[in-house]
Amino acid sequence: MRRGIASNFSQHQLENYRDLLFVLFQKEFKVRYKGKFLGYLWSIASPLSFALVYYIAFSGIMRVAVEGYPLILVSGLFPWQWFQNSVGSAPNLFVGNASLIKKLNFPRNILSLSTILNHMVHFLLSLPVILLFMVIYGKSPTLAWVYGLPLMMAIQLCTVYGLSLVLATLNLFLRDIERLTQIVMTFVFYFTPIIFTADMIPEQYQPLIPANPAAPLMINWRNLFLHGYLDGHYLLISAGYAVAFLALGTVVYRKLSWKFAEVL
């Protein structure tokens, strides 16, 4: 009898959390486009504008000859936008929702998950743009997309969710985390094969690629889009980072979440 009551209560809780997650996701999605006439175009404008700037700088001014460079840029910048937006906005997640956290009793990590899912959907909405560039440069999706896209999305989702929990939680106690995150993300961007390809990295520095958690992810996104395959070595490294960050984020959040009300 008790087991049945506990089971029903747990199921009811899960349904409530699912509904709350949907409401938060819907709210963020609406806020992002509220009052913006161009709507969807703004979600792709930023990476496209950066792609144009880098193309002019490297191909036009510095005369770096890279075949299909616009496609290379787009295939790297759109996955990076999801990664950067998720991690970059993480420190302010709990601080920015202080009033909601104080008034309602709910798992605070749902705030992080709803934000990341929002960025993930915008990444999915950018896929037609990548496909357009692929068509322009004579490439097309392969069967590897069928398993590659869900697999890569799951790995990146776990990675950024874990990082988000760590940063959002720690920023409540150390408010410098937000500024530090911005600086670190700038370094990560330029040390990740996004505006350049992995084979452009000098041979003596190739073994250092796995030391950057974002690098194996971005390399495989580009491999999937441009060449229709996933590098098993980098895939395992990315999966390892995903598990590690997810575990770390969960531990940090559970250890400190009970103090949220005191510091907000």
**For residue range 127-148, what is the model confidence (pLDDT) as tens digits?**
999 999 999 999 999 999 999 9
| pLDDT at residue 113 greater than cutoff 80 | yes
Better-predicted residue by pLDDT, 63 or 251: 251
Domain chopping of the chain, boundaries = 2-263
Q: Comparing 62-66, 109-113, 219-223, which segment has the lowest mean pLDDT?
A: 62-66
Give the chain's mean pLDDT.
86
Q: Which of 6, 34, 22 is nearest to 110 (CA)?
A: 22
Residue 76's pLDDT band (boundaries 50, 70, 90)? very high
Hey, is 6 helix, strand or coil? Answer: helix
Q: Which DSSP letter does residue 194 get? A: T
Question: In which band, very low, low, confident or very high, does the pLDDT at 162 lie, cut at 50, 70 and 90?
Answer: very high
- If one counts every other C-beta atom within 10 angstroms of the C-beta of residue 176, the result is 10
Mean pLDDT of all residues in 154-169: 96
CB 109 within 8 A of CB 150: no
For residues 178 and 92, give the distance between their C-alpha atoms in angstroms, rounded to a whole number: 7
Are 144 and 66 contacting, i.e. CB atoms less than 8 angstroms apart?
no
CA-nearest of 56, 55, 45 to 78 is: 45
pTM: 0.87
Distance CA 111, CA 169 (A): 12
Q: How many angstroms separate the CA atoms of 212 and 45, rounded?
A: 27
Spatial contact of 218 and 197, defined as CB atoms under 8 Å apart: no
Categorize the per-residue pLDDT at 8 as very low, low, confident or very high, splitting at 50, 70 and 90: very low
Q: What is the pLDDT of residue 257?
A: 84
With a cut of 80, say whether residue 106 has pLDDT above it: no
At residue 136, the pLDDT reads 92
Contact by Cβ (8 Å): 193, 222: yes
Of 26 and 259, more confident: 259
**CA–CA distances in Å: residue 19 to residues 99, 114, 135, 164:** 20, 11, 39, 21
Q: Answer yes or no: is pLDDT of 6 > 70.
A: no
pLDDT at residue 167 tops 50 = yes
Amino acid 207: pLDDT: 93
pLDDT of residue 39: 62
More confident site: 184 or 19:
184
